[in-house]
Amino acid sequence: MTDRTSPIDDVSGPESAAAPPVDPDATTDVPLRESASRSPVDPDLMDDLLERCLEQYLEAAPLASPQELGRFLPEVDLGTQRFLLVELIKLDMASVSEATVTGSAMAVVPRVEDYLTHFPQVMTAADVPLDLLMEEIQLRKESGELLDPADYAKRFPQHDSMIAELLGGQLSAKPEATAAAVNRKRPPEFQVGQQIDDFVIVQTLGSGAFANVYLARQLSMSRLVALKVSRGTGDEPQALAQFDHPNIVRVYDQRMIDDPPAHLLYMQFHPGGTLADVVDRVRHTRPWDRSGDLILQSVDRSLLKTAQAVPERSALREMLGAMSWPMAVAWVGIHLSRALENAHRRGVMHRDVKPANVLLSAEGVPKLADFNVSFAGSAGRAGAASSFGGSIGYMAPEHLRAISATSFSAPEDVGPRADLYSLAILLWELWQGRRPFESQGRPKSWTDAVSQQLIARESLGDPATHGEDALARLLEKILRDTLAFAPEDRIGSGAELEARLILALHPDAAQLFDPEPESWHGWLSRQSPWWVAATTILVPNAIAGVYGFFYNQQDTLEKLFAEVEGLSTTFTTLVICINSVAYPLAVVLAIYFTRRVVKGLESTASGKEATEEDLFAALELAHRAAVIGGLLWCLAAILYPAVLSYVHPEFSRREVGHFFLSHVICGGVAAIYPFFGLSIYAISVLYPRMVRSKLNDPNFDRRVAKLVRRCERCLLLACLVPLMGVTLLLVSNEDAKHVMLIAIAATGLGLFAAFSAYRYILRQCSAMTPVLSSKRDSILSM
């Protein structure tokens, strides 16, 4: 996971779409009039075409004449030829300068016109882009020449406004990196069966201008390894060797050999190919035929190429093969998010996350690597990109700005969020078979290509295939959040992205955290918490009040009002006094506790992470409502008979017992059903809404255990309420028995509803457990 010496963009289409090979013996000028009428090359293939041209140049360098650059220009449209020629000229200018600096006091730097005379139909002086002019200026300045601004203004008047700044030293490009890259020679090539040091070559896995990778057998350890052969060491071995992560390719060691001079880096061999192979299969597979088995098909094909056995009785392969395609894409993203999180915690940026840099094990597990040899031949591109590395098709906006020839961004500006941005592009391409944005127009130079990519990042396209299920919608939302143009608007860490993607592996949890608009979850989540809380609390209390009034009216009060003088007045006064205190107090407390929950929802809706107080308030709302209702009714159960019996001694113990028990039943109704109603609301709407932005709650297991214990206690109380009703039925007056029978039937149905609510709450907690629990998910631990 180290900085590259060149920006690399992988192949974006089938091999057949690439330009035909050029004739190595051709030295004549390019037949422009024929190529001008050709169809434009797909912009997504442009970088791959450039890599091929530059690799062919590096194999043939040094050239005898600038005219020989025509050998490397394919027969494509004029705009593409001009783009390729600009980059070839940059590379050749640096190559000539580097080759002559050792033989003379001053390097001989060719002029741009030295090349234009051989390709007049491809490019004229008026067509010279700014970055090519910058390349010449920088090389000439480094060679010690004194440059005349008037000369450059006369030669290239279209850049007159920038020439003074360029010659004043305000260059962000670094062509010296290009020259250094040219000075690195092509690595030695080895044949199958050949022994090099401790290794016997088994097969060629990939080759490029600066490195070759072989499948080799290490004799001393009797194991297969991936052997990377290059000339220079770089800092890749040191960066990769510090990792011991299941989703990062493990580097064993490195060696230097003298004959031939080469650097050997040997690492863990993964025979399942790369995600680039899977992306290619996705492009050729109809959307409705895609599933996790697509990854296994690609892996098995690579296993066959390397003569490796397909794992038998693999639970992981069976599970992956049964996944839907959005689920499989999320599964890959989870593993790679973990790898990036591990790297970022160690202060290492990858900066080149793309399908070709993700290897697959025999079971399809993705492994993040940082060597790309098949497409490593584009080191000739000039500019600050040499210091950053990366593939422009997968770069974040800040990464593109950093490698832009007119940018002054510092390397440290390209941080962890840029890696996550690249990962999101990779996952979108894996999901849809294409990237989420397309550059418009034909780039005239490398800088122009970078600028077009940067403009494309400002707006994301729609998926080619829209998923109808919650998983596809959720995956799209997660990727869009990670592809926000401004870094501060994106998902902030690999751990956060991992948590969000885990939802796609759990449909039940996905319905909770991202409900379908037409579902009752979606409808309920759109309702005001004030309205939901008020309804859930008031309705059971109103039912309890109606029951208490009619029962006591029929059983006790109607008869006593006629027999005891002044009882009616005392009771009315007592009702007014108790209710004038109890109801306002209940309303104030309910508003206070609900307001805390609403503030938490507003805070998380604005993008802030839910605090411990927010989550506590959401899950405590049901308990607090139950305590308020139950406690006030129980106080009324004590106050009513106590005051009435004190003021009117005629108020017998039987009436006191009936009043007390009927109000306790009312208190049970006022406590139990608001508790279960608000618990369902909290666990289905409030809590998921508060944690879905980060999907992180270290205390989730403790909260769930506490909620389940409370549900069990309330369920026990729900069983006691009908039993108390039966007790009252046995001692009630005949006139009140029908009221109590209705109450017993209602509380019996309430017991069934409470038990159903309890089961529902358990299911919701179980659905969220794989996402939020500290216990590892079995799907991801294999």
DSSP state letters, 550-610: HHHIIIIIHHHHHHSTTHHHHHHHHHHHHHHHHHHHHHHHHHHHHHHHHHHHHHHHTTPPP
Sequence-ordered list of residues with C-beta below 8 angstroms from that of 561, at least 6 positions apart, any chain: 567, 568, 571
Amino acid symbol at 364: G
| Structural contact between residues 662 and 470, judged by C-beta atoms closer than 8 angstroms | no
| DSSP string for 343-390 | HHHTT------SGGGEEE-TT--EEE-----TT---TT--STHHHH-B
At residue 490's C-alpha, the angle toward residues 487 and 493, to 5°, is 100
Per the annotation, does 228 bind a ligand?
Answer: yes
Read off the amino acid at residue 467: G
**Sign of the alpha-carbon dihedral angle for 414, 416, 422, 428:** negative
CB 185 within 8 A of CB 231: yes
> 493 CB contacts (<8 Å, ≥6 apart)?
341, 344, 416, 420
Give the residue from 587, 590, 617, 588 showing the smallest Cα distance to 602. 617
Looking up tokens 């009785």, which residue turns up? 313
Of 405, 351, 371, residue with least CA distance to 87: 405
Nearest to 12 by CA among 466, 330, 437, 442: 437
User: DSSP per residue over 190-224, as a string?
Assistant: --TT-EETTEEEEEEEEE-SSEEEEEEEETTTTEE
CA distance 236 to 239: 5
Residue keyed to tokens 């600096």: 101
Under a CB-based contact definition with an 8 Å cutoff, are residues 357 and 374 in contact? no
Q: Which of 689, 680, 497 is nearest to 610 (CA)?
A: 689
- The span from the CA of 655 to the CA of 556, in Å, is 6
What gap in Å lies between CA 686 and CA 680, rounded to an integer? Answer: 9
d(CA 382, CA 112): 15
Closest CA to 340 of 547, 497, 562, 155: 497
| Nearest Cα to Cα of residue 733 among 560, 562, 556 | 556
277: phi > 0 → left, psi -120 to 50 → alpha, else beta; which?
Answer: alpha
- Which of 751, 708, 527, 511 is closest to 619 using CA atoms? 708
- Which residues neighbour 13 within 8 Å (Cβ) at sequence distance 6 or greater? 42, 44, 45, 283
- Contact predicate 326/364, CB 8 Å: no
Q: Give which of 415, 275, 250, 266 is closest to 339, Cα–Cα.
A: 250
- Identify whether the C-beta of residue 45 lies closer than 8 Å to the C-beta of residue 13: yes
What is the Cα 349 distance to its own chain's centre?
A: 16
Report the binding-site residues for ATP.
228
Report the binding-site residues.
228
